[in-house]
């Protein structure tokens, strides 16, 4: 049949392909638009969508009412474009105690009038709205763009979504004489609207949002503005750029914003003394529940705008304002179970399964437990009621047992791997118990493959744990090498993936395409993908920067002595890492894996299935979660040396502090932490266990 000619008769295989393709596109659209969790790249989606349009052009009969081409309308826009902010959208420094506030006010005085101890500084208090900040640009009074905060320098263009928010004026008549004005503020969802939205989501079988902030952010980031329009979002303004000559204080600015037609928060106080600030903090904290919207603290702002200008800003926050946060909440719940997860290096990690409980507006069902010693130290037993705490945005932690179960039995850590049943081993120096079975343990095999294809490694789109599990179970793959021979082998397979349940030709081909797209990889990602113990994304980069090419890496890592000689000079790579690399490279199977994947590295020698590109020096991270923060370490680190951890932190733009103070950004704790742990808990400083820290640091580097 000539291509592009319309036909009434539709062959059965075409009908089948169209049906499968439609279902898959609908599934992808739901994942993308509603769950904010895309499963394939824009490119793959676009190709699939074009194939659907082609089929429907050839066979118009296929184009029924429910086809994604009809339903979604025009080819959907797959991502937001970017908007560069006129001035950086900064964050706020946090205060947690009266002492922090005194320090802040004293610093203001020192800055504005050095040498004086008494300088009346008027402070405006506003509630700290738990929403999403937005920058609205008005050109000659017309709303022309709206952007999220993004990374502070560049945000996402959410203009079309913001146009659906009723409390945001499209046109401000009083600004028609101004060329360009930016209004900043917070978009949020009221508690009432949040509850109604969640109720209807539950009714429709959709997952509820965890809190009002997520609901607001999720609703704003909809690619289809019609969805945003259905969600009741509101906006409170708090800043205006450039400053108006007629407005000289923050207090008047809020009134001015109202005159322009913007809503501002209903709570606002003007303070002249520290005591005023503390009294209003307590008052607002106590009436928090009566407000229609969620707040997580108050914001103190120097009232005089000329002083605000003089005070300026550090790289991440203005010096004229500070967030005075409400205390971290604690909650009591029941420890329902302790599950053991097997990681890619065989580490057995316990996870606490909890009776669901709300903490800082988030429903908590799990908490990390780190290792068996921690369980023993806290004397946890199934059925105990435990105290949970969540400081900052980190994983909640079990602080202690509140009420032990009537028949309290201390939890006994399993001696065997829950996946393969092998007797686990615990190195005397380590707190971790490990399954020794390596790749013959199903859980480790799955985790290693998942790591191999993950974002910072080979980054194979659409190959999630579910597909890997299927491929393993179907005997299609056993090691990473098999991924790159899969397509060829499939041609001769009597039971090809395309015919397996839940797959089909289209998904199978999409998978082959994503694998083929990753046959070339840079050395840093390649080394990271191997899953060598203690070689995370950062160490992999250091190694790649050192060896530069795969050939040099293979040639110069032949013995422990060679590794020591080379790597001991690299700050950031400690003896443990060197030992781990050596252990990996002295294993015959791993060498076979390297040979098969990337070749021997010898010129003229056998070639591998992938091409590894050389790496040049990689720039130090400048905009990470840790940049400008002080990180303090305590306790014995299991996965990295202190020196390595320090370098890692510095590469992420953090400073490393030796003591916990109010200025500490994060406390990273290893085994047997000291007093710093208690101090950080008291000061409400986010605490990261070593693994969480490594995970976050890795995510920051692979972002
Ligand atoms: S002033 C330089 N005022 O809190 C940033 N921010 O933790 C100046 N926020 O990104 C922001 N309520 O999204 C300011 N009344 C308020 C606020 C507020 C909520 C958010 C804002 C900011 C974040 C910092």
Q: 437-518: which CATH architecture?
A: Orthogonal Bundle (1.10)
Helix axes 575-585, 560-567, angle to 10 degrees: 140
Residue from 24, 36, 86 nearest 214 by CA: 36
pLDDT along the chain (703 residues), means of 10: 47 80 78 56 63 80 72 46 88 88 93 77 96 95 93 88 93 94 96 89 79 87 86 96 93 97 95 94 89 93 95 87 85 93 92 87 83 91 88 71 89 95 87 88 95 93 92 94 95 91 90 93 94 86 91 92 87 85 90 93 87 71 70 85 76 82 88 81 82 78 56
Q: Which CATH superfamily is domain 94-325 in?
A: DNA ligase/mRNA capping enzyme (3.30.470.30)
Question: Mutation test of ligand 1: which of 182, 257, 299, 320 has the most ligand atoms closer than 8 Å to its C-beta?
Answer: 299
Q: What is the pLDDT of residue 150?
A: 81
The answer to whether 478 touches 549, Cβ cutoff 8 Å, is no
Query: pTM for the full model?
Result: 0.50
User: How many angstroms separate the alpha carbon of residue 297 from the centre of ligand 1?
Assistant: 10
Atom of ligand 1 nearest to the CA of 94: 7
- The full set of domain ranges for the chain reads 3-70, 94-325, 330-433, 437-518, 521-613, 630-702
CA distance 106 to 99: 10
Q: What is the pLDDT of residue 37?
A: 57
Atom of ligand 1 nearest to the CA of 133: 13
Answer yes or no: is the C-beta of 299 below 6 A from any ligand 1 atom.
Answer: yes
Atom of ligand 1 nearest to the CA of 126: 15
Topology of domain 521-613 in CATH is DNA polymerase; domain 1 (1.10.150)
CA distance 622 to 315: 11
Q: What is the pLDDT of residue 619?
A: 47
To which residue do tokens 């809503």 refer?
263
Q: What is the largest CA-CA distance in the chain?
A: 90
Which residue's C-alpha comes closest to atom 1 of ligand 1? 238
CATH class of 630-702: alpha beta
User: How many angstroms separate the alpha carbon of residue 315 from the centre of ligand 1?
Assistant: 16
Answer yes or no: is the C-beta of 129 below 6 A from any ligand 1 atom.
Answer: yes
CA distance 398 to 389: 6
Atom of ligand 1 nearest to the CA of 318: 2
Of 82, 128, 192, 325, catalytic = 128
Sheet (strand 295-302) strand order: 94-95, 321-325, 295-302, 123-129, 269-271
Answer yes or no: is the C-beta of 172 below 6 A from any ligand 1 atom.
Answer: no
Residue from 558, 549, 547, 551 nearest 599 by CA: 551
Q: Which CATH superfamily is domain 330-433 in?
A: Nucleic acid-binding proteins (2.40.50.140)
CATH of span 3-70: 1.10.287.610
Indicate if 128 belongs to the active site: yes
Domains 94-325 and 330-433 share a fold: no
Q: What is the pLDDT of residue 199?
A: 86
User: How many angstroms separate the alpha carbon of residue 95 from the centre of ligand 1?
Assistant: 13
Answer yes or no: is the C-beta of 321 below 6 A from any ligand 1 atom.
Answer: yes
**According to DSSP H, which parts of 143-206 are helical?**
159-162, 191-203
Which residue's C-alpha comes closest to atom 16 of ligand 1? 128
What is residue 654's DSSP assignment? -
What is residue 100's DSSP assignment? H
CA distance 640 to 671: 12
The answer to whether 258 touches 264, Cβ cutoff 8 Å, is yes
């Amino acid at each position: 049949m000539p291509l592009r000619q319309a036909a009434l008769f539709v062959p059965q295989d075409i009908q089948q392909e169209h049906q499968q393709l439609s279902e898959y596109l609908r599934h992808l659209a739901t994942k993308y638009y509603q769950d904010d969790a895309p499963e394939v790249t824009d490119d793959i989606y676009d190709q699939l969508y074009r194939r659907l349009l082609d089929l429907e052009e050839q066979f118009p009969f296929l184009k029924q009412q429910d086809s994604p081409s009809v339903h979604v309308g025009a080819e959907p826009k797959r991502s937001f474009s970017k908007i560069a902010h006129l001035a950086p959208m900064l964050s706020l420094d946090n205060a947690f105690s009266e002492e922090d506030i005194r320090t802040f006010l004293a610093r203001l005085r020192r800055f504005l009038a050095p040498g004086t101890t008494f300088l009346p500084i008027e402070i405006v208090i506003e509630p700290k709205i738990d929403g999403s900040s937005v920058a609205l640009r008005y050109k000659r009074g017309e709303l022309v763009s709206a952007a999220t905060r993004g990374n502070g320098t560049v945000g996402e263009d959410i203009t079309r979504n913001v146009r659906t928010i009723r409390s945001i004026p499209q046109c401000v008549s009083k600004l028609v004489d101004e060329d360009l004005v930016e209004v900043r503020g917070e978009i949020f969802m009221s508690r009432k609207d949040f509850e109604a939205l969640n109720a209807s989501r539950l009714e429709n079988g959709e997952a509820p949002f965890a809190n009002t902030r997520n609901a607001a952010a999720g609703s704003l980031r909809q690619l289809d503005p019609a969805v945003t329009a259905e969600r009741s979002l509101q906006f409170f303004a708090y800043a205006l750029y450039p400053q108006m000559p007629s407005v000289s204080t923050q207090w008047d600015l809020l009134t001015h914003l109202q005159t322009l037609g913007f809503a501002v928060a209903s709570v606002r106080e003007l303070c002249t003394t520290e005591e005023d600030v503390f009294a209003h903090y307590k008052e607002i904290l106590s009436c928090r529940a009566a407000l229609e919207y969620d707040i997580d603290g108050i914001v103190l702002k120097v009232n005089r705008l000329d002083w605000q200008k003089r005070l300026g800003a550090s790289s991440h926050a203005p010096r004229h304002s500070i967030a005075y946060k409400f205390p971290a909440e604690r909650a009591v719940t029941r420890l329902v179970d302790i599950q053991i997860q097997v990681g890619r290096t065989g580490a057995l990690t316990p996870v606490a399964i909890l009776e669901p409980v709300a903490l800082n507006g988030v429903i908590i069902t799990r908490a990390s437990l780190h290792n068996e010693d921690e369980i023993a130290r806290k004397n946890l037993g199934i059925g105990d009621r435990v105290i949970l705490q969540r400081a900052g945005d980190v994983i909640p932690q079990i602080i202690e047992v509140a009420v032990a179960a009537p028949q309290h039995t201390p939890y006994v850590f399993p001696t065997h791997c829950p996946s393969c049943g092998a007797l686990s081993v615990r190195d005397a120096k380590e707190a971790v118990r490990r399954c020794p079975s390596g790749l013959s343990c199903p859980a480790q095999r799955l985790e290693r493959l998942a790591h191999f294809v993950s974002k910072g490694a080979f980054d194979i789109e659409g190959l999630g744990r579910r597909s890997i599990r299927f491929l393993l179970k179907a005997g299609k793959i056993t090691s990473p090498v098999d991924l790159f021979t899969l397509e060829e082998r499939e041609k001769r397979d009597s039971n090809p993936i395309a015919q397996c349940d839940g797959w089909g030709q289209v998904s199978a081909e999409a998978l082959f395409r994503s694998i083929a797209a990753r046959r070339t990889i840079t050395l840093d990602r390649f080394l990271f993908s191997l899953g060598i113990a203690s070689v995370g994304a950062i160490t992999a980069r250091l190694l790649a920067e050192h060896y530069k090419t795969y050939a040099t890496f293979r040639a110069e890592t032949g013995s422990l002595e060679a590794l020591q000689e080379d790597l001991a000079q690299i700050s950031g790579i400690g003896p443990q890492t060197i030992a781990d690399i050596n252990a990996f490279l002295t294993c015959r199977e791993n060498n076979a894996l390297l040979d098969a994947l990337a070749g021997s590295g010898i010129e003229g020698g056998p070639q591998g299935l992938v091409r590894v590109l050389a790496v040049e020096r990689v720039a130090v991270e400048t905009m990470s979660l840790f940049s400008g923060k002080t990180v303090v370490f305590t306790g014995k680190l299991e996965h990295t040396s202190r020196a390595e951890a320090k370098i890692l932190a510095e590469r992420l733009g953090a400073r490393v502090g030796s003591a916990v103070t109010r200025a500490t950004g994060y406390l990273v704790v290893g085994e047997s932490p000291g007093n710093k742990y208690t101090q950080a808990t008291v000061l409400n400083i986010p605490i990261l266990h070593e693994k969480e820290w490594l995970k976050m640091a890795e995510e920051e580097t692979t972002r």
